[in-house]
């Protein structure tokens, strides 16, 4: 079974949704599942250097009280599945393309671990994963060749791979993330629960048997 996942690394709901899927897969014993991560950018007009996090949230949601309530809700939802969000640590709403590119450069077997590391760096440590130095430090943790990664990132060569993902997202009419396509047949949208993902996996298996 193959699951294609469209996600924005700086999207907290993507982190929650993917964690729920991974939780479902820990219970799923029917067949082997391969995950394919695809880049998606919620804000295509975000500058490469990012923007101030709090100020941007206030512009999008309104008053500080509304921002606080929204972030508290996300934090509580994350805690239910063992995720930590430290929004007070985040100073910059990072542009995700460098992080998406690093994920592309990571061997398939390590991609889930890489994604989780990038998410922890951003959501728990408040690191700017739109900064190439931060990205190279994470690449080094995974044993990737920093010089090779830096050359590919700075040359712009990864843009073609990201563009391919954006075109695939258009094909599936992805409007919001997370967005999951199971065996090219069943679509699941949003940060669903573990039982919902298990039900979807069973449905695909039954439909194809």
Q: What pLDDT does residue 83 have?
A: 98
Q: Region 95-106: what's the mean pLDDT?
A: 97
Check whether 54 has a pLDDT greater than 70. yes
Q: What percent of the chain has pLDDT over 70?
A: 100
Please give the C-alpha separations between residue 144 and each of 35, 115, 147, 195, in angstroms, as whole numbers: 21, 14, 9, 36
| CA–CA separation, 24 and 16 (whole Å) | 12
Q: Region 37-56: what's the mean pLDDT?
A: 92
Check whether 60 has a pLDDT greater than 80. no
Q: Region 172-194: what's the mean pLDDT?
A: 96
The pTM assigned to this predicted structure is 0.95
Q: What pLDDT does residue 55 have?
A: 84
Pairing of strands 2-7, 34-39: parallel
Residue 104 and residue 161 in contact, taking contact as beta carbons nearer than 8 Å: yes
Contacts of 58 (CB under 8 A, 6+ apart): 64, 67
pLDDT tens profile 109-143: 999 999 999 999 999 999 999 999 999 999 999 99
pLDDT tens profile 170-179: 999 999 999 9
CB count in 10 Å sphere of residue 133: 9
pLDDT tens profile 3-15: 999 999 999 999 9
Q: What pLDDT does residue 64 have?
A: 78
Q: Is 80 exposed, middle or buried (0-12, 13-18, 19+ CB in 10 A)?
A: exposed
Q: Region 62-89: what's the mean pLDDT?
A: 92
Q: What pLDDT does residue 56 have?
A: 82
């Amino acid at each position: 079974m193959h699951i294609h996942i469209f996600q924005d690394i700086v999207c907290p709901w993507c982190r929650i949704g993917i964690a729920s899927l991974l939780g479902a897969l820990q219970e799923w014993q029917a067949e082997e599942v391969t995950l394919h991560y695809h880049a998606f950018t919620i804000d295509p007009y975000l500058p490469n250097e990012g923007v101030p996090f709090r100020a941007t949230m206030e512009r999008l949601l309104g008053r500080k009280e509304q921002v606080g309530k929204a972030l508290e809700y996300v934090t509580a939802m994350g805690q239910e599945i063992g995720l930590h969000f430290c929004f007070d640590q985040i100073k910059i709403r990072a542009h995700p393309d460098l992080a998406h590119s690093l994920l592309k450069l990571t061997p398939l077997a390590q991609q889930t671990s890489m994604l989780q590391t990038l998410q922890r760096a951003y959501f728990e440590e408040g690191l700017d994963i739109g900064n190439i130095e931060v990205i190279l430090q994470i690449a080094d943790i995974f044993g990737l060749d920093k010089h090779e990664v830096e050359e590919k990132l700075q040359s712009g060569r990864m843009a073609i791979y990201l563009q391919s993902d954006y075109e695939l997202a258009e094909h599936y009419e992805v409007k919001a993330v997370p967005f999951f396509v199971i065996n090219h047949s069943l679509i699941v949208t949003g940060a669903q629960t573990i039982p919902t993902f298990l039900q979807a996996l069973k449905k695909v298996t039954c439909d194809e048997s």
